Amino acid sequence: MAFALSTMQVTSVAFANHQAVPSRYSGEGEDISPALAWQGAPEGTKGFAVICHDPDAPLVKEGSYGFIHWVLYNLPGDIQELTENTAVGTSGVNDRGNSSYCGPMPPEGHGKHLYYFWVLALDHQTSLPAGLTQAELLNEIEPHLLGMNRLVGTYQRG
């Protein structure tokens, strides 16, 4: 299946769509993941994955652009939310080289960046090994993708 938006809705109690991500969730703050929730997952969903991507970061790496802040997978299909600083799921590697959430922190003087918190619905429960990059995760799950959508936050360095 192609990567296309579905009718699934992604929200957060921490920030509204296209609004500022609070500094608590940034590299300037506590650097913890915000709570996320979703509803309307496609019928047959048995697992989820989450990716946070900053397409405004001035980086090109291995054929992709921007900066990957979070790769999380092996999420069960019966959940509809992640709590703040979640311990659920398996962490992949972000572009800082860590297996954890890495909050927004654009380069100084770079202005406001957009942060896409993607939720991907899958037709099976994954049991992938820890430490996958975004590219490795997408290669594994693309054939099983039922739908996806995102919540977009903004952040400008203080």
| Domain annotation covers residue 4 | no
pLDDT for 1: 43
| Domain annotation covers residue 3 | no
> What is the residue range of 138's domain?
9-155
Look up the pTM and report it: 0.94
| Domain annotation covers residue 28 | yes
pLDDT greater than 70 at residue 99? yes
Could you give the number of structural domains in the chain?
1
| Domain annotation covers residue 50 | yes
Burial of 9-21, coded b for 16+ CB within 10 Å and e otherwise, reads ebbbebbeeeeeb
| Domain annotation covers residue 151 | yes
Could you report the per-residue pLDDT of 19-60, keeping only the tens digit for each?
999 999 999 999 999 999 999 999 999 999 999 999 988 765
The whole-angstrom separation of Cα 89 and Cα 7 is 23
| Domain annotation covers residue 1 | no
What's 149's domain CATH number? 3.90.280.10
Q: Is there a contact between 96 and 135 (Cβ–Cβ < 8 Å)?
A: no
